[in-house]
Amino acid sequence: LGTLYRGRDTLLGREVAVKVMAAGFQGEEAAKARFFREAKAAARLQHANIITVFELGEHDEVPFIVTELLRGHSLAERLRNGPALTLAEKLNAGIQLCAGLEAAHAQGLVHRDVKPENVWLCPDGTVKLLDFGLATAASASATFVDILASPSYLSPEQIAGGTVDGRADVYSVGAVLYEMLTGKCPFEAESPTGVMLKIVNEAPAPITEGDVPQALTA
């Protein structure tokens, strides 16, 4: 929905990231609502494993979000381009991701879009959860907007349109951890529809390859 810029807060003398709504979405009320929802949801959460929002506003009717500037790369990029994560790094990422989600759930928010693209790996080892654009109140019903999320990480409840709470995020974390451990998603098919059908109707293949501890394969 937006273009990300590296900027400087001239008052406090710090570098920041400025996300500006893309021109093609500026006239769409639904897109604008999601843009503001992302900022407001994240701004409610003060946690080491969630990106920090500094400001939300509009300039010439163009919405923008100012956040901390993160160094490093997304988990998706790391999985795609390497270097390979060690088992300790994978588990550490999963633990920090769960800590951030626990804080969100404690505030009554469900992220609904946990995927490697929204998990940021900082150079110091800190993991940050990004993009709360689909976040909603806990126990809200899933809607078709959830399909905007990557289907490989959707919970069965999101696909079926059922009631969604924090457990949907826990499912998505499991899918991310499965991919980190095996190099592939729990369910794969030739189309998004095929993936969603497998999520609803099948169990993931057991993890049998690599040196994954038995405690993680159960």
Residues catalogued as catalytic: 113
> If you write DSSP's letter for every residue of the chain in order, what string do you get?
-EEEEEEEETTTTEEEEEEEE-GGGTT-HHHHHHHHHHHHHHHT---TTBPPEEEEEEETTEEEEEEEPPPSEEHHHHHHH-PPPPHHHHHHHHHHHHHHHHHHHHTTEE----SGGGEEE-TTS-EEE---TT-EETTEEP-GGGGGS-GGG--HHHHHT-EE-HHHHHHHHHHHHHHHHHSS-SS--SSHHHHHHHHHH-PPPP--SSS--HHHH-
